[in-house]
Structure 1
Amino acid sequence: MSSIEAAKPRKEISPLLKMVLELGPLVVFFFANARGEWLGAHFPALTELGGPIFIATGLFMAATALALTVSWIFTRTLPIMPLISGIVVFIFGALTLYLQNDTFIKMKPTIVNSLFGVILLGGLLFGKSLLGYVFHSAFRLDEAGWRKLTIRWGIFFVFLAIMNEVVWRNFSTDFWVAFKVWGTMPITVLFTLSQMPLIMKHSLDQEADA
């Protein structure tokens, strides 16, 4: 019986639910920061966390935990990138709340994106296109395609890390929060869509159809 269950394909969640799980915590973070004083007035317990950015950080951590839990319930697995990002959220979020210093939560995107960039680009030095291990269930590409896509994503993650550093160090907290949600996500979506020609060119499925 166990062997039959093991042979079953991994459960997939709907694209809409996946988007909600990925974007939900960020949206919670944005609105909690924007409405922090209102939340504190209506839910006095939240004021124990501190000002709006600290209330937003606490709710961001809770929303991230909820998103990972729902993902596990539906798929019985946790995607590696959201998992790593979630771990960093919990660590840096806890430091932010404990030390009452929002620098830690502001540096979280820098740490996560730098980590992903270094892992992807570093893997290529050892002849490993690690992006293939992440997206193998979504795309089937030839070796050259995975290598090119890994290089592009590695550089893009480094770009996101640098961009986060520039924004949080030179602009207000409210601007950084807004940019994190309404700037970084559209940029990431546009970058992802821009890779479709490369994916189509190196798709093994396309070659099989030909």
Structure 2
Amino acid sequence: MTVSPKAKGWIRAAVDYGAPLSFMVAFLITRDAVTASWALVGGAGVALLVGYVAERRIAPMPLIAGVAALIFGGMTLIFHDERFIKIKPTVLNLGFAAFLLGGVATRRNPLKALLGETLRMPDEAWRTLTLRYGIFFLCAAVLNEAVWRTQSTYVWAWFRFPGLQILAILFSLTQAPLMMKHAKAADEEAPAIPPPPTE
């Protein structure tokens, strides 16, 4: 199945945001987080299926987020307890933070392993970027805990989507100067040899 670059962009957006958008729409209609979790579970399942059918693969982070939506959404429905869906962003962001910060602590570059094919930078720049993203995910987890424990479900739902996504986009924009600076330096240092062909 051949998919155009523009269609791939829409498919990736659907995989990334399909589940939380489905939950938010259902919550605004029902005003019930447990009932809206049906939409979260269904949206996550459909998004993962569409992504796999279109590209025959799903990137690691959307896959983890989709599986987490299925697990925590399912637990919310089974136990009729909205706390499960509220702690999902906390657990997910803590997991991402542990993965990235653990990589920095062990002198590895997990972010480079995920994005190295699309962005060339020196290892030191990758470590800096990994540390910053690890701290961001840790802060996002703490912030989610603060919001759902002190605010109404309605406020938390808006914070969950699109609030967290907006924060992630703004944070990524603040990292653009670092990436542009070191990506340029890496290009200048690289030998003038074309990269080997990839399958």
Shorter-chain TM range is: 0.7 to 0.9
Once the two structures are aligned, what percentage of the paired residues are identical?
Answer: 35
Aligned twin of 2:197? none
Aligned twin of 1:166? 146
When normalised by structure 2's length, the TM-score is 0.87
Q: Does 1:110 align with 2:104?
A: no
Aligned twin of 1:63? 43
Q: Distance in 2 between matches of 1:206 and 1:20?
A: 36
Counting matched residue pairs gives 186
Counterparts of 1:32-51 in structure 2 under 5 Å? 32-36=26-30
Aligned twin of 1:191? 171
Where do 5+ consecutive residues of structure 1 fail to align? 1-10, 38-51
Counterparts of 1:71-150 in structure 2 under 5 Å? 71-150=51-130
- Displacement of 1:206 in angstroms is 5.3
Aligned twin of 1:30? 24
Q: Which amino acid in structure 2 is aligned with residue 98 of structure 1? A: I
Instruction: Supply the RMSD in Å over aligned alpha carbons.
Output: 2.0
Where do 5+ consecutive residues of structure 2 fail to align? 193-199
* Paired residue secondary structure (1:35): helix
Q: Which amino acid in structure 2 is aligned with residue 109 of structure 1? A: P
* Paired residue secondary structure (1:181): helix
- Displacement of 1:207 in angstroms is 4.5
1:9-38, Cα deviation, whole Å (9 max, x unpaired): xx976323322331222221111001017x
* Runs of 4+ with deviation above 2 angstroms: 11-17, 204-210
Q: Which amino acid in structure 2 is aligned with residue 35 of structure 1? A: I
Aligned twin of 2:9? 15
Q: Which amino acid in structure 2 is aligned with residue 34 of structure 1? A: L
